[in-house]
A and B are shown apart, each in its own frame.
Chain A
């Protein structure tokens, strides 16, 4: 549950930050998500949060595309297919999200200790 919340928070935060800041703002979103909702799988949460965000956004754009730019870009990148390009987009975003979430989470003391306050 907490994990799902963490993924969703990262996704929502990043999608808001992307509206006002450059692409690397996804790292801020994932970092915050890691810091506030630290779980046992922060990397996966960051990876999924950003990966799903980028994948969805790219898919939305691709389904209403007037021209096959994804095919053209795929051809420029050693002939990869539009699907692979979509997955590569999600992967790149996901990697940054995952690492940033780990960084955020590591800033906070382990949860176990918190309980004793």
Chain B
């Protein structure tokens, strides 16, 4: 009797413990191990930081040569003071992991296509396959060849890796970051490959855009004359980033122009989602001749998908030969955007075609050989093993050619396509970014900056520069293939070596200049260079509005103060609206207005073109625009056929200059529409949408409410952890905060001889722990367009209430 009772109750207890000690997937909803997760002694409760929590005053760490002082300021920014480079990078790895371990590891898992190991779902498997098939790890391994062999970089990466691993080995379940507990897995050892993967991840966000297949389809569907009209190489609006006409004093590399075969094919591939084309950035540097202090000012705000934990991690690195501060990428050693005692630098993405697709001709169905210059060349088949949580491992065979991996084929997103295309991407090549950043962090002047950038290959960036000694400069740096006219706009013939990238533009022939007459340099993802530059330049898209607003303001202003620069970074002027709305309103047939439409018309008429948070005009304009684009380009909505809409700028130009253009006709109606008809229809629809919004939300449709922005958690299914924010701005506006993307870091540096001063703000916080007050404590000021003055230290300060010092001692 009692034995039975004992057995039954013991077994029940053990079963319950087993159930509560493991994660489950119930009806597609992942459930953490409830007992372990909810245990207040070890579970998520232990991730809740106390209001008065301070870190340890000293930690013993293996591998250090000498003690390192880490000063945490009131914003939780670490200022690392080390005696030598080795200790400096070890400490950077350790401290970054302390705040961001889950994020840094997750990002490298995401880059490598390993998310299925953590969360299992069909969509996630598809994502992982795409990362493998784009050759992300292949590219990272190529980057490793340099990382492992360069004496400086191998040491920097090794020490940084060691620092992260020291932190990982200090963890037990109670101190594990929150997300590991929630998703029930553990961190693995960090490796140098992960540093490379992280940089490839950035390259993917910034430098993987292309529209070659879309253009190929458009060419066949609409013909050559429409291609030039709808997708011009250069929209010829505003200043190029570098206007240096007549001063390109070099002999360019010229290639024998073999006439490129113009493809005549339709491609039906379910192409992977592209990075948001509104991803972009602003940077500028103003010469001392235009500033109130007489010293140069440099500003930068990179626009990215805004996420928590925050994209950037701020820190200061101080050791013999270096005193630099700024934004780092958790997972990569050094500072990416920042300043030091002598210089400041900032980046925006360089718009350039760095992706090509090469049509492959296989010998037969086996795909063992493909044709190249009349010979049959062996393919390499890589079997990707995708481990899945709670499910059997998925095997995916990816065919590699000399061009790169065949991303889409009969087993992946191209079931109905007849031909395979190999993917060539500049980030598959060898690269030296860590060395570039290492040197840039230590640069003292313009020539050091130039020397550092020679090592920067990918992702190609527009590097703005300013120095305490008074120089300003801009350099568009990356590895750029020498292109023949129109090369890279369409898919290419993969059976001929001659259609490949036969040479790269030498570093010294890249687009750059120093101290231009206008007294400032700037870039905002626009067209890079004046027409006298001797190389053919093409890109999937260029920005047409932000850059002009920035240049107009900078040109007019003198005696510029730091406050002026803050105002400009937060400028909500909608140049696109100013250039299009008067025409739109004139074209509207106001005779047939409903009551709502009349009210909307009045609001738009009175609107000042500022997308401020409380503006109603901005809401009506943006709603109208959002309806208009798909209506105009309905010709581009073809089933199974990839096509891309022309740009905003081209669309507005056509409305203004060619209102009877045949694309304004809506294909599904009998009538022949022109621009005014389509504007009228889109207007009616957008007013209806706003009416619906008002019925559901509020009487006034303030832009910030209508836009409804949010800072999402890095892991999209964790919607509950995202934070709504109410801001003005939008894409195509200097304050480029759209619903999901925006200024991920706003930095202003005044390069004064008496000492470099800097201000910054970003939407989040230094800690990646949702149980810390430093998770999103910087968010409010960012929303309001306010800044923190950064404390750029010259030495270890004495302990006071505002700071906290941790000493890392050699173990």
Contact = CB atoms under 8 A, between A and B. Distances in A.
Interface string B173-196: 100001000100000000000000
B6 A57 contact: no
Contact of A89 (B40, B48, B49): B40
Contact of B48 (A26, A69, A93, A107): A69
A102 B721 contact: no
B42 A23 contact: yes
B39 A67 contact: no
Most A CB atoms within 10 A — which of B21, B34, B38? B38
Contact of B770 (A23, A72, A109): A72
Contacts of B2: 106-107, 109-110
Interface in A43-93: 54, 57-58, 61-62, 64-67, 69-70, 72-73, 75-76, 79, 88-89, 92-93
B17 interface: yes
Interface residues of B, number: 42
Contacts of A26: 39
Contacts of A102: 5, 9, 13
Contact of A96 (B16, B182, B720): B16
A69 B178 contact: yes
B602 to A, nearest CB: 41
Contact of B51 (A64, A75, A103): A64
Interface in B25-59: 34-36, 38-53
Contacts, number: 116
Contacts of A109: 2
B40 A57 contact: yes
B567 to A, nearest CB: 32
Interface in B556-571: none
Contacts of A62: 45, 48
B41 A89 contact: no
Contacts of B50: 64-66
Nearest to B53: A66
Contacts of A88: 38
A62 B9 CA distance: 33
A100 B15 CA distance: 11
Given A18-B39, A23-B43, A65 B771 contact: yes
A19 interface: yes
A58 to B, nearest CB: 4
B245 interface: no
Nearest to B777: A67
B461 to A, nearest CB: 35
Nearest to A18: B41
A67 B6 contact: no
Contacts of B769: 67
Nearest to A76: B720
A113 B773 CA distance: 59
Most B CB atoms within 10 A — which of A18, A67, A88, A99? A67
Contact of A23 (B39, B53, B182): B39
A30 to B, nearest CB: 9
A66 B39 contact: no
Contact of B13 (A61, A69, A73, A96): A96
A92 B13 contact: no
A27 interface: yes
B38 A66 contact: no
B45 A57 contact: yes
A61 B40 contact: yes
Contacts of B75: none
A96 B20 contact: yes
Contacts of B775: 67
B772 A67 contact: yes
B21 A66 contact: no
Contacts of A31: 13
A67 B49 contact: yes
Contacts of A106: 2, 5-6, 9
A79 B721 CA distance: 11
B39 A75 contact: no
A100 B769 CA distance: 34
Contacts of A89: 38, 40, 45
Given A92-B34, A96-B16, A106-B9, A72 B39 contact: no
A19 B17 CA distance: 18
Given A65-B51, A67-B772, A76-B720, 16 more contacts: A18-B41, A19-B41, A22-B36, A22-B39, A24-B17, A54-B38, A54-B39, A58-B40, A62-B48, A64-B50, A67-B770, A69-B47, A93-B35, A99-B13, A103-B10, A106-B9
18 contacts: A18-B39, A27-B17, A57-B40, A58-B45, A61-B48, A66-B48, A66-B51, A67-B49, A67-B770, A69-B44, A75-B720, A76-B720, A92-B20, A95-B16, A96-B16, A103-B6, A103-B9, A106-B5
Interface of B: 2, 5-6, 9-10, 12-13, 16-17, 20-21, 34-36, 38-53, 173, 178, 182, 718, 720-721, 769-773, 775
